[in-house]
Structure 1
Amino acid sequence: MKVTIISGSHRPQGQSHKVAAFIQQTLLAGICEECAIVSLADNPLPLWDQGVWEGDEKWDVLLTPIREELAGSDAFVVISPEWHGQVPAGLKNFFLLFGKNELGHKPALIVTVSSGDGGAYPVAELRMSSYKNSRLCYIPEQIILRKVESVLNKDPADNDERSNSYYRERISWALNILKAYAGALAQVRESGVTQTDTFNNGM
């Protein structure tokens, strides 16, 4: 099984990337065989334009490697920091650039990141809109990492012991649920019922 982590922070050294590295390590410790990270740090993907739909060569060159990475994945972890109560623009743009051919009818775990007590708004935003045309299937579980600077750090001295222990256990539990959904939804895709050229967009 292959899982791809989408790290949605624009910041090159943001806390989201620390979280992505921890989740990758956890996945590779026995939950899945392959795990890649697609990082949106430094905004590697330009804003969507009509050329994406028209097969513009510049877009094909840029997007094809990522399309192949996503299409070859069985499940996803979508990591979003909370910026002004919102999902970062680059992550929203990601869901305009990649759709049902890469993400369709595959499970995803939402992980949100907050320096304070926030983190709930990006969960609601992602569940409300990002799945519609992509047909990405968010599982019922989610992880909201509050006061993220004090958890999942390599140096134990930098962690709040109680919160760190709780989050590590809960992340592992949620990732195993994601694995089970990946196996179940693979059967849905293989059945052929999801394949259609008639209903390309969600309602």
Structure 2
Amino acid sequence: MSDLKIAVILGSTRPGRNGKAVADWVMDRAGARTGAEYELIDLADYPLPLLDEPVPAAMGQYQGEHTKAWAAKIAEFDGYIFITPEYSHSTSAALKNAIDYLYGEWNNKAAGFVSYGSLGGARAVEHLRGIASELQLAHVRQQVSFSMFTDFENWSVFKPGPQHDESSTLLFDQLESWTRALKTVREV
């Protein structure tokens, strides 16, 4: 088994969310991989209030127990796949809030994106790429985007097309490669 650990972060906490089915699909494909160990992290399991830390995250002086627990969990991983919906042409507030709580835990690690929305969640990923860059979180080019029109029946039953298998394999390949490379950077 690989020594790489990658978190698949489910970035929606909305009741009745479509993201759970997308995350399960990603985890199903991740289960067949040998290049890294994957773990699903559901933001619904980490109730983070709207950012309430008095000191900027870059200082690493977390005060809230919820922040310390979140930081400890995120620090366990070498890389991340963010599962994001597209809400109002951006990512979810829950995911942005969870990201903003931390800084050093994200540094010199790799990230990939899986999105869903009316335009496949492309605009949400564009925003996440800028956020990731600020956090020194290297993001791979490949992403997987699901359309609410073609990959969901009645906008709620997830039925992805077979074309997503190839793009997800490329995402996993790129992410595992970058994750391994950046692990050496953190070890120096």
Aligned to 2:91: 87
Residues 111 and 139 of structure 2 are in contact (CA less than 8 Å); yes or no, is this contact kept in structure 1?
A: yes
Q: 1:52 to 1:44 in 2, by over 3 A?
A: farther
Bigger strand fraction: 2
The Cα of 1:42 is off from its aligned counterpart by 8.1
Decide which of 117, 126, 142 is 1:124's aligned counterpart.
Answer: 126
Decide which of 69, 78, 96 is 1:74's aligned counterpart.
Answer: 78
The Cα of 1:165 is off from its aligned counterpart by 0.8
The answer to whether structure 1 residue 188 and structure 2 residue 181 are counterparts is no
The answer to whether structure 1 residue 30 and structure 2 residue 27 are counterparts is no
AA matched with 1:142: Q
Residues 6 and 81 of structure 2 are in contact (CA less than 8 Å); yes or no, is this contact kept in structure 1?
A: yes
The answer to whether structure 1 residue 19 and structure 2 residue 8 are counterparts is no
Q: 1:45 to 1:52 in 2, by over 3 A?
A: farther
User: Alignment partner of 1:45: what SS?
Assistant: coil
Q: 1:50 to 1:111 in 2, by over 3 A?
A: same
* Residue identity (%): 27
Q: Give the gaps of 5 or more residues in structure 2.
A: none
Structure (1 or 2) with the larger CA radius of gyration? 1
Aligned to 2:163: 166
Q: Size of the alignment, in residue pairs?
A: 177
Q: Give the gaps of 5 or more residues in structure 1.
A: 192-203
The answer to whether structure 1 residue 6 and structure 2 residue 9 are counterparts is yes
Residues 11 and 83 of structure 2 are in contact (CA less than 8 Å); yes or no, is this contact kept in structure 1?
A: yes
Please report the TM-score for the alignment, with normalisation by the length of structure 2: 0.82
Instruction: Supply the RMSD in Å over aligned alpha carbons.
Output: 2.4
Please report the TM-score for the alignment, with normalisation by the length of structure 1: 0.77
